[in-house]
Amino acid sequence: MYPALTDLSTTGPSPNGDSRQLLNLLLSTPQLRTLKVETLRRPPTGFPIFRIDLPLLRRFEIRHATIGRYEDALAFRDVLFSSLTIPPSCEVRFGSMLPEHLKLSVKQYPRLLTATRLKFTRMRFSPSYEAIILLFSSENGSLGVSLEARTRRMYDDDIVPALSASLSAVDLTSIRKLCLGPGLCSLYGPRLPSSSFLHAVPHLDLLRIHPEAFYPEENRPLRLLASILAVLLGVDTDGEHTVAGPPACPKLSRLWVDWSQTSELWPVVDRLREFATLRAVQGYPLSRVFIARQRQLNRIDDLPIYRCTVYEHDGTLTRVLSESAEIVSEDEDCMMAQCEEIFAQLWDGVQAVEVDAGASS
């Protein structure tokens, strides 16, 4: 018995272990606050018939560190989630899963379906390995679940298409706020708007996008912006109407665009103004459009200096309602952190979402 144990981490897979051994251990740790588990290689030997309550658990992480044997890992996760009673306030992390396992993860932990916010971050751990982190959360702090989707093998193709397809099969109707980090604008899906996962978030009120690409093409970010705006309008990238049906995200009222290119800002403003006009004609007007312009300049001594200014426009981009004081720093991370503080006022605000959604309905 380990009645006083508060932290437990099983590092590395155990070829001779199974789920029942771990569950028997957890049964004797009622004070556990942190649990980190790596999936066991051996499939579960029988389904457990007992429940385990961990009322003080605050962080639970489950990873699959072995290349392959995903069926065994999923079976182990089934047993674990079927046995544990996880407190609603517990932070849950699904580590190292494949994009196609997203739907099963939601089934194993259905509280994901109550999330109101979803943030995507692309992580490149090495030239041969990358992952996309999905963070499901709520403004009141009652939910915090992250999933790490990775490539199946080293040097695999881009995981974005596979993840985009998996997202389309998940119920995301509770999501009100969506943030796509740098390099992830293509998550909106294939060229035809009707296939985009953005149709899975019909109640979306706030959308943040960063049309940045890991390519040297100067015009690519502007094309990415045009593509995601086309999905929101229900037209293809050539401007011709399709059989896609209604535009994606009909309740969208606030759009935030991060622009970190060295080119002028006016082409972005013109494109967004045209988009806002068309959305209003369709009967889906915006209330606010934010543009965060981030630039890297060189001083006389050739050392870089980073600048960011956030412009808040009205829903038609005919007026600049406010302009943040220019953020200037010699450290890019510091500049980005200050910009995030401005966005957090929208991301964390509860009342603002309800007021805007009511005003636009």
pLDDT at 11 over 90: no
pLDDT at 262 over 50: yes
Residue 21 vs residues 25, 42, 73, 76: alpha-carbon distances, Å? 6, 11, 15, 12
Say what the pLDDT of residue 16 is. 53
The model's pLDDT over 147-190, given as tens digits with 9 standing for 90+, comes to 888 766 544 556 777 888 888 888 899 999 999 888 787 777 65
Q: What is the mean pLDDT of residues 123-136?
A: 78
Over residues 285-301, the pLDDT tens digits come to 999 999 999 887 776 66
Q: Are 44 and 20 in contact (CB under 8 A)?
A: yes
CA distance 143 to 32: 19
| Distance separating alpha carbons of residues 279 and 247, to the nearest angstrom | 9
**In sequence order, which ranges of the chain are alpha helices (DSSP H)?**
19-26, 70-83, 102-108, 160-167, 220-233, 266-282, 332-347, 351-360
pLDDT in tens, 57-78: 999 998 876 666 777 778 888 8
Residues 6 or more apart in contact with residue 141 via CB below 8 angstroms: 89
- The 10s digit of each residue's pLDDT in 82-94 is 888 899 889 999 8
End-to-end CA distance of the chain: 57
Token pair 């508060």 is at which residue?
6
Q: Which residue has the higher pLDDT, 221 or 347?
A: 347
What per-residue confidence (pLDDT) applies to 352?
A: 39
Tokens of 89: 């306030």
Residue 170 tokens, joined: 């998940």
Q: 355 or 223: whose pLDDT is higher? A: 223
- Of the candidates 210, 15, 187, which has an alpha carbon nearest to the alpha carbon of residue 102? 187
Q: What is the pLDDT of residue 276?
A: 96
- What's the rounded Cα separation, in Å, for the pair 68 and 74? 11
Q: What is the mean pLDDT of the chain?
A: 81
| Residue with the larger pLDDT of the pair 153 and 265 | 265
Q: Determine phi and psi for 331, rounding to 5 degrees.
A: -115, 120
Q: Is residue 50 predicted with pLDDT exceeding 80?
A: no
Q: In whole angstroms, what is the distance from residue 295 CA to residue 326 CA?
A: 11
DSSP string for 231-270 = HHHTB-TTS-B-S--SPS-TT--EEEEEE--SS-SHHHHH
